Structure 1
Amino acid sequence: MNDKPNKIFLGQIGAAHGIKGQVRIATHTQDPEAIGSYGPLDTDRPGLTVTLTSVRLQKNVVIAHIKGVSDRNAAEQLNGVSLFVDRHKLPETEDEDDFYHADLIGLEARLESGVVIGKVSAVPNFGAGDLIEIRDPQSGDTYLYPFTKAVVPHVSVADGFLTIVVPLDAEEGEEEPD
């Protein structure tokens, strides 16, 4: 999804809203309306940068005006465009337990015993909550774990690792039929 180095995926433009050029945006920011505070946003369309001039929350999406877009036809042309911001424009986290998902990519994944099981390759969310994807460097296989405090009890971005507690059902494998 984000093949741009040092770019953080903030959201995606959806359908046009109304006839005056507004668009719906599905945001991936903690505060959905914050997407309008980062200034010009890069996109996945070469040469296209957008500036959100007004933003308001409506149910589970943001309704926004984009500078230079004044009618529905122009807004419809932006459907599906992904929005990115440079990592350095994001505020620093205040707590050691707070971090950006992008900061986790590349961290070493260790078991509680200290054994390295791979590196974080992604933090996907398919609708039921965040997952953490660990890639085994020897086999190339990837493993998905729920990204919860129970499964990932310790994250140290500064030290370059996180701890994984493998859930019991993953260790046991499939049950034998009766």
Structure 2
Amino acid sequence: MSARDSESGRASENIGRTKPGQDEGSATFGAFVRKPGARRVAVDVSSSNKGSNPQDAAIEPVEALPDDAVEVGFIADAYGLKGWVKIVPHANGKQGGDALLDAKRWWLVKGRDRKSVRCLQSKVHADTIVARLAGCDDRDAALALKGHTVSIARSDFPKLDSDDEFYWVDLIGLDVENEAGVALGRVADLIDNGAHSILRIEYPGTNKDGEPVTEERLIPFVGVYVKTVDRTAKRIVVDWDADY
């Protein structure tokens, strides 16, 4: 069994998450994968602007993000002199970095400032992604976006190749139980240890004074332990004893 970390979100039983810009044949950064995937290098959607809404050519303020918006990185700096921006994808794999190479609509957030913008072109650059955004035409405009987080719609994430692949964001919040039906808690996060992904599961407990606390257990996301993932039932079944 495998799952995806995310430049988009991919991980695997035997393949750790890699970063954007790795060699062809490396595992895609961000989503769980059963086998290595080819590096995604660029998307250019500028030609699809013809005949589109004039607002698509500007960075527009919005009151709220879509319900399925997922934060996938942040704008770290301007790139070059022509308005390109440099994005650092979230490296913990739960969001969705290589989705930045597919999504045409981005949402930028900094404090209470929320913007919607069309991505015209994006590509991998070393450990980052650089992008050209509509309405961002020079370095000063790009610098004004520095520090904004970048979110995209979950529906814009690249399609996974099999039923044994999962984006981290889709696993967070699922209930976990063992094969005996004992509840083990709920997935709060995932961790990449370089060899595979690990479920970080939170569950209620008590401290030595009998006060309620939140405890955690870590379960490797590998086939020997993870038996089924049922997103419809919002449940993961594992071969794991509650006393481990």
Fold equivalence (TM over 0.5): yes
Higher relative contact order (CA 8 A, sep 6+): 2
- Tell me if 1:79 matches 2:153: no
Q: Does the 8 A contact of 2:178 with 2:238 survive in 1? A: yes
Change (3 A) 1:124 1:9: farther
Q: Which deviates the most, 5-14 or 58-67?
A: 5-14
Q: Does the 8 A contact of 1:36 with 1:53 survive in 2? A: no
Gaps of 5+ in 1: 172-178
Q: What residue number does 1:64 align with?
A: 131
Q: Does the 8 A contact of 1:54 with 1:65 survive in 2? A: yes
Gaps of 5+ in 2: 1-64, 206-212
Change (3 A) 1:148 1:60: farther
Q: What residue number does 2:70 align with?
A: 8
Q: What residue number does 2:41 align with?
A: none
| Whole-Å separation in 2 of the counterparts to 1:22 and 1:126 | 33
Q: How many residues align?
A: 165
Which one of the candidate residues 170, 179, 183 is aligned to 1:116? 183
Q: What amino acid sits opposite 1:80 in the alignment?
A: G
Which one of the candidate residues 88, 97, 106 is aligned to 1:26? 88
Q: What amino acid sits opposite 1:19 in the alignment?
A: L
Q: What residue number does 2:56 align with?
A: none
Which one of the candidate residues 130, 133, 138 is aligned to 2:200? 133
Change (3 A) 1:158 1:41: same
SS in structure 1 opposite 2:122?
strand
TM-score between both structures, scaled by the size of structure 1: 0.73
Q: Which deviates the most, 75-84 or 137-146?
A: 137-146
Change (3 A) 1:121 1:127: same
Change (3 A) 1:59 1:47: closer
Deviations 1:97-155 (A, max 9, x none): 12222221221111243311111122355888643221114542233344344443432
Q: Does the 8 A contact of 2:72 with 2:96 survive in 1? A: no
SS in structure 2 opposite 1:48?
strand
Q: What residue number does 1:102 align with?
A: 169
SS in structure 2 opposite 1:78?
coil
Q: Percent identity?
A: 26
Which one of the candidate residues 29, 39, 49 is aligned to 2:104? 39
Which one of the candidate residues 208, 228, 233 is aligned to 1:154? 228
TM-score between both structures, scaled by the size of structure 2: 0.56
RMSD between aligned residues: 3.1
Change (3 A) 1:30 1:90: closer
Change (3 A) 1:123 1:37: same
Change (3 A) 1:146 1:112: same
Q: Which runs of 4+ in 1 moved over 4 A?
A: 28-31, 91-94, 124-129
Deviations 1:45-68 (A, max 9, x none): 333122221112222222211111
Change (3 A) 1:43 1:13: same
